[in-house]
Structure 1
Amino acid sequence: MTPQQFIDAALWFPESVETEPFGPGTLVYKVAGKMFALLGAPSGDDPARVTLKCEPGLALELRAEFTAVTAGYHTDKRHWNTVVLDGTVPDDELLEMLRHSYQRVVAGLRKADRERLLAVLGEDAPPPPSG
């Protein structure tokens, strides 16, 4: 997946906004003011990286399955994964990680916001995350 494809996917989610709170080169995607994805631009020979929220048990499974998935860079390592966009993680898997991240953040929002956003997605409200 290219960085532009990731950007398009992140902005597809209801009420998703792109910000640059850390300055140029690092795009942060938020819903209701809460971050659900971070895209770091490629640097030199290093490919772009995305950081996504994840349920802790699933985060460990993904790290074991894909060498491009590591503990979140500069984030809570239990709840965030960083994925190198080097082509080794299939696009459909990366899109599922992005969806999961968005849903984890939405699940922690106020009930009215959560229900509104999930209704747009056509989903039932999941229980709030534990972390």
Structure 2
Amino acid sequence: MNYEWLDEYCLSKQGAKKDFKEEWNATRYFIGEKIFLMVGGDKYNKAIITIKCEPFFGQMLRDEYEHIIPGYHMNKLHWNSVYFDGDVPDNVVKQMIDMSYRIVLNSLSKKLQKEILKDA
């Protein structure tokens, strides 16, 4: 899979922003000041997407797909990494992104959530 839709999909989320962190060689997608997705590489420079998930759901995905691993350089309970060259279907990655966005949005203050969602 190549997930060419990824950037547009992430930025279509209400209030989403991105930046590039040079020292990590990674593109990060934020809601508020918190990351909900990161695109980078592993220690072999293989492209990966790192996404926050509910722990039970994340483990279920790791059990089902060999190309989903515990989050690379992230909390292994809450984050999962998906290899670009793997076989994880687009709809599964989109479901993971939606979950990550929701988890991170809900972790923000109610005031910030209102500001982000005011145009929704």
TM-score normalised per structure 1: 0.79
Matches within 5 A, 1:1-131: 1-23=1-23, 25-40=25-40, 46=46, 48-117=47-116
Which residues of structure 1 form unaligned runs of 5+? 122-131
Higher RCO structure (Cα 8 Å, ≥6 apart): 2
How much has 1:120 moved relative to structure 2? 5.2
Partner secondary structure for residue 21 of structure 2: coil
Q: Distance in 2 between matches of 1:17 and 1:79?
A: 21
Q: Distance in 2 between matches of 1:110 and 1:25?
A: 30
Q: Distance in 2 between matches of 1:6 and 1:74?
A: 21
Partner secondary structure for residue 95 of structure 2: helix
**CA distance 1:97–1:113, shift in 2 (3 Å):** same
Partner secondary structure for residue 20 of structure 1: strand
Instruction: Could you list the structure 1 runs, at least 4 aligned residues long, displaced by more than 3 angstroms after superposition.
Output: 22-25, 41-46, 115-121
Higher strand fraction (1 or 2): 2
Deviations 1:1-41 (A, max 9, x none): 43542111111111111112343731000010100000015
**CA distance 1:73–1:24, shift in 2 (3 Å):** closer
